[in-house]
Amino acid sequence: MPRRIAVIATVYRYLSHAQHIGDRFLVGYPIAGEWHHPDVKVVSLYVDQKPENDLSAQRAKEFGFTVYPTIAEALRCGGDKLAVDAVLTVAEHGDYPRNKKGQILYPRYEFFKQVVDVFEKDGRVVPVYNDKNLSYDFKKAKWMVEAGHRMKFPMLAGSSLPVTWRLPDIELPLGCEIEEALMVGVGGSDAMDYHALEAMQCMIERRKGGETGVKSVQLITGDAVWKAGREGRWSRDLLEAALSRSDTPLGLTLKDGRTQDLLANGTLQKLVKDPWAYFIEHNDGLHTTLLMLNGAIKDFNFAARVKGIPQIQSNQFLLTPEPNVTYSACLVSKIEEMFATGKAPYPVERTLMVSGILDSCLTSKYEGQKRLETPYLQVRYQAPKKSQRAHE
Amino acid sequence: MTRREMLAAMLASAAGPTAWAKVASARGQGNRRPRIAAVTTIFFKYSHTQHIVDRFLLGYGWNSTWHHPPIDLVGLYVDEVEKNDLSRERAKEFPTMKIYPTIAETLTLGGSKLAVDGVLLIGEHGNYPRNKIGQKLFPRYQFFEQIVKVFKSSGRVVPVYNDKHLSWNWDWARKMYDTSRQMGFPFMAGSSLPVTWRTPSFEMPSQGQVREAVCVAYGGVDSYDFHALETLQCMVERRKGGERGVKWLQAYRGEDFWKAYQEGVWSKDLMKSALCRSHTLTPARPTFNDIFPTDDEMRRLVKDPVAYHYEHLDGVRCTMLLMNGLVQDFNFAARIDGRPGIFSTQMYLPMPPARTTLANFFSPLVHHMEKMILTGRTSYPVERTLLTTGLTAAGMESLYRKARYETPHLNIRYHSTKESTFWRT
């Protein structure tokens, strides 16, 4: 018997996360050189918003499931008891307001709470996947993870960047000593900085002692970012290494196709009008930096200095092109694994950590870009032993 | 016997890099940075010339740093200068690189003797006529002959890199190869497909017994078919016994392609596995972003499919499939004895302008050129490209004749390098 799953989504339109993740449970997906059909049956769907290009009714008709008006009904398939074996929550995209910190108020916590209510009332739990960060608000995110532990249901969350292909195909050795790490990302906040932070987190969590939480953060923007670089607050060498992995320099490359050393002759400063730097100080003393460099490149690249390895370790997180966005197939295979085994292939604490880092960075920016002590970010976890990147 | 004749005789009798090494040490390089010349058809944005020459002039991202090749590109020949030309602009920006009106002057830097330590022959793009079977008559052989003429008159040889396949004309291609062997200079050629990233980063097991291999690719004949053939060859050449050559090739196009597909001329399973490595599978149905097509949907999407199906002398069968409309990448699949399932990967090209801004698959290619110029050793055997050159021409012949093309001339034997030469760092 295939596992019965409920899909809880903000919006189900072409190329929304719900569509490209949800559809893979309907039509299969490419993995390890095969077209894989999960042993899963989507039995119910809840969508919060139905824009003109909504696909929910069309999919329900073709694949024989029902769209329910509430989350509880979707989980109970119209009956009076939880009637699914797993819940897939994809609350990305859709029309939601932003708060004063610039965070889009996706109702992930609100959806999750309704799922948990059904679990509590019906006295049964099933695995839950939550797409991207948990909640824009760390307190709510923490409640979500604690609910999972309290009620003992498997939970997985996060971005597809940690599980996509890497160029080159590297993984940091488990238990290594990381001296410094830097990530370069692009796109808007608070969507794309989240992806970049989680990409960095999946690399640095493999360090000796695992993740022990974050002491302070600071988000600065504009010329202060370059000044911080000159003062050695972020490493020029690590930035050079990260940029050496980029396939998408802008500026003169767009004009005549040339390769560009973006760090030479102030090119980077010319291209990036509004740089953002996210400084993260971990409890174990590790300092990491995310630079969002819109205008310079269009891909996501990581670099770290690891004790005992002479060369800087760096890679691109390959975001394969639209419309296939096959990186989401890599993610779905992890979700399917949790649905099948009841075990999350990597800890949801990673996503909790990053949700908290981003929320705190945006608070720092809102409060005048000042350094923010984060005693509440006491998130401890160990990285999975097995590498979860796409490599087979 | 003059000194020049003596040298020529010595070169003719010696084999490969050894002769070159002797010559190189005899001439005494000192500590001077090696200088090279590029002999090209045309130089515009995103042309092969631009990708390669710019990497020597400006450097490129490599192994966590910005890498400046320790080599000076000092001479440039451009056969066609069109409105979109970049060569004049680049020569102005980089005064150490001079443009010369002839190949001989480019190699002698305007003097009377060969004055460079390596030559890049980039005969891709440009307005050249096509022959009756549809081959574009790129002057790679003619350029090569002029390069060799300077070598002969100077009594000295240097390494040569030839971009893409050798010549469209088999006899000329063979002559290029034979000349390089007779004169004993390092000669490397080919596509960037064998040296680019792979997703997954798999190498073909050395000494495995391959039974059948397939490459699903895109692009035109006499162009991207060559890249797909190199994709296949860089993998199957690692098989037990090495390469021994190809017996015959049969091309299929249009309805003949679908008939052959239905009849199982090549393995449907291998084709499907290769398609499952693609990052660019055209969705056959609206509103779906990634869905595997049915046979009928494939036929609807691919208006002009092309297959080159060929048999090696040891019985291994390979099929190169150009499926425009269905994919826009290069995917490989093979069945290997003793290995369960299908072995497959994608040779990943960060391809501008839709997906990237830089064609960084030229970086590992330039890296291998640098290595050859610095060490006098080629990273992989030019016989691979001699064979794929012959296969490309055989494909065009077979398409033109609508018949199987016997290839007794492609009895090319060689062994692959033990070490992997694709991009992994």
Confidence of residue B24 (pLDDT cuts 50, 70, 90): low
Enumerate residues 6+ apart whose C-beta is below 8 A from A369. Answer: A218, A219, A220, A221, A224
Nearest to A183 by CA among A206, A209, A204: A204
Confidence of residue B207 (pLDDT cuts 50, 70, 90): confident
- Angle of the A348-366 helix axis to the A192-204 helix axis, nearest 10: 130
Residue B20 pLDDT > 80, yes or no?
Answer: no
Q: Residue B116's domain is classified under what CATH number?
A: 3.40.50.720
Range of the domain at B222: 194-356+385-410
Cα nearest neighbour of B43 on chain A: A256
In this structure, the answer to whether residues B131 and B268 fall within a common structural domain is no
Nearest to B384 by CA among B183, B127, B164, B98: B164
- pLDDT computed for residue B13 by the predictor: 40
In this structure, the answer to whether residues B48 and B135 fall within a common structural domain is yes
B366 assigned to some structural domain: no
Domain count, chain B: 2
Nearest Cα of chain A lies from the Cα of B279 at a distance, in angstroms, of: 6
User: β-strands B343-348, B197-199: how paired?
Assistant: antiparallel
- pLDDT computed for residue A369 by the predictor: 98
Nearest to B119 by CA among B145, B95, B94, B93: B145
- Rounded Cα gap, residues A331 and A160, in angstroms: 5
Nearest Cα of chain A lies from the Cα of B295 at a distance, in angstroms, of: 15
- pLDDT computed for residue A95 by the predictor: 98
In this structure, the answer to whether residues B128 and B198 fall within a common structural domain is no
B417 assigned to some structural domain: no
B425 assigned to some structural domain: no
Could you give the percent of chain B with pLDDT greater than 70? Answer: 93
DSSP string across B229-272: HHHHHHHHTTSTT-B--EEEEEEEETHHHHHHHHHTSS-HHHHH
Enumerate residues 6+ apart whose C-beta is below 8 A from B214. Answer: B232, B266, B267, B270, B271, B274, B318, B319, B320, B321, B332, B333, B334
Which residue is associated with the tokens 């049956």?
Answer: A41
Check CB contact of B24 with chain A, cutoff 8 Å. Answer: no
In this structure, the answer to whether residues B167 and B249 fall within a common structural domain is no
In this structure, the answer to whether residues B178 and B249 fall within a common structural domain is no
Enumerate residues 6+ apart whose C-beta is below 8 A from A286. Answer: A178, A180, A181, A204, A207
In this structure, the answer to whether residues B37 and B177 fall within a common structural domain is yes
In this structure, the answer to whether residues B150 and B279 fall within a common structural domain is no
- pLDDT computed for residue B421 by the predictor: 98
- Rounded Cα gap, residues B268 and B265, in angstroms: 9
Mean pLDDT of B245-258: 98
Enumerate residues 6+ apart whose C-beta is below 8 A from B276. Answer: A30, A31, A33, A34, A35, B292, B344
- Pick the last residue of a domain from B148, B165, B190: B190
Please write down the HEC assignment for all residues of A241-302: HHHCCCCCCCCHHHHHCCCCCCCHHHHHHHHCCCCEEEEEEECCCCEEEEEECECCECCEEE
In this structure, the answer to whether residues B169 and B199 fall within a common structural domain is no
- pLDDT computed for residue B264 by the predictor: 98
Could you give the percent of chain B with pLDDT greater than 90? Answer: 91
- Rounded Cα gap, residues A108 and A89, in angstroms: 8
How many angstroms separate the Cα of B192 from the Cα of each of A248, A299, B120? 19, 22, 15
- The interface pTM score, or ipTM, of the predicted complex is 0.97
Confidence of residue B10 (pLDDT cuts 50, 70, 90): very low
Residue B6 pLDDT > 70, yes or no?
Answer: no
- B45 and A256 in contact by Cβ < 8 A? yes
- B289 and A322 in contact by Cβ < 8 A? yes
Domains of chain A with bracketed CATH: 3-158 (3.40.50.720), 163-317 (no CATH)
Number of separate helices (H) and strands (E) present in chain B:
13, 16
Which residue is associated with the tokens 């199957």?
Answer: B236
Q: Which helix (H) or strand (E) holds A64?
A: none
- Rounded Cα gap, residues B164 and B388, in angstroms: 10
- Angle of the B382-401 helix axis to the B224-236 helix axis, nearest 10: 130
In this structure, the answer to whether residues B77 and B219 fall within a common structural domain is no
Mean pLDDT of B242-255: 98
- A324 and B199 in contact by Cβ < 8 A? no
pLDDT in tens, chain A (392 residues): 999 999 999 999 999 999 999 999 999 999 999 999 999 999 999 999 999 999 999 999 999 999 999 999 999 999 999 999 999 999 999 999 999 999 999 999 999 999 999 999 999 999 999 999 999 999 999 999 999 999 999 999 999 999 999 999 999 999 999 999 999 999 999 999 999 999 999 999 999 999 999 999 999 999 999 999 999 999 999 999 999 999 999 999 999 999 999 999 999 999 999 999 999 999 999 999 999 999 999 999 999 999 999 999 999 999 999 999 999 999 999 999 999 999 999 999 999 999 999 999 999 999 999 999 999 999 999 999 999 999 99
- pLDDT computed for residue A382 by the predictor: 98
B298 assigned to some structural domain: yes
B422 assigned to some structural domain: no
- Pick the last residue of a domain from B143, B173, B190: B190
Confidence of residue B4 (pLDDT cuts 50, 70, 90): very low
Mutation target vs A (from B55, B58, B64, B86; most A CBs, 10 A cutoff): B64
- Which residue type does A290 have? L
- Which residue type does A369 have? Q
Cα nearest neighbour of B60 on chain A: A259
- pLDDT computed for residue A192 by the predictor: 98
- pLDDT computed for residue B3 by the predictor: 46
In this structure, the answer to whether residues B333 and B293 fall within a common structural domain is yes
- Pick the last residue of a domain from B151, B169, B190: B190
- In chain A, which residues have their Cβ closer than 8 Å to the Cβ of B67? 244
In this structure, the answer to whether residues B134 and B210 fall within a common structural domain is no
- B199 and A165 in contact by Cβ < 8 A? yes
How many angstroms separate the Cα of B246 from the Cα of each of A28, B211, B240, B384? 38, 14, 16, 12
B363 assigned to some structural domain: no
Decide: B269 and A305 in contact? Cβ < 8 Å. Answer: no
- pLDDT computed for residue B31 by the predictor: 76
Backbone φ and ψ of A41, nearest 5°: -120, 120
Mutation target vs A (from B267, B279, B345; most A CBs, 10 A cutoff): B279
Residue B270 pLDDT > 80, yes or no?
Answer: yes
How many angstroms separate the Cα of B331 from the Cα of each of A387, B227, B272? 24, 11, 10
In this structure, the answer to whether residues B165 and B263 fall within a common structural domain is no
- In chain B, which residues have their Cβ closer than 8 Å to the Cβ of A248? 356-358
Chain segment B363-421, per-residue pLDDT in tens: 999 999 999 999 999 999 999 999 999 999 999 999 999 999 999 999 999 999 999 99
Mutation target vs B (from A26, A59, A258; most B CBs, 10 A cutoff): A258
- pLDDT computed for residue B29 by the predictor: 54
Please write down the HEC assignment for all residues of B111-150: CCCCCCCEEEEECCCCCCCECCCCCECCCHHHHHHHHHHH
B370 assigned to some structural domain: no
Check CB contact of B287 with chain A, cutoff 8 Å. Answer: yes
Confidence of residue B99 (pLDDT cuts 50, 70, 90): very high
- pLDDT computed for residue B15 by the predictor: 40
B101 assigned to some structural domain: yes
Mean pLDDT of B50-73: 98
Is the peptide bond prior to A51 cis by the omega test (within 30 degrees of 0)?
A: no
Give the burial string for A59-92 (b: 16+ CB within 10 Å, else e).
bbeebebebbeebbbbbbbeeeebbbbbbbbbbb
Q: Residue B242's domain is classified under what CATH number?
A: 3.30.360
- Picking from A14, A259, A303, the nearest residue to B60 by CB comes out as A259
pTM for the model: 0.96
Confidence of residue B27 (pLDDT cuts 50, 70, 90): very low
Token readout for B395 is 């494909």
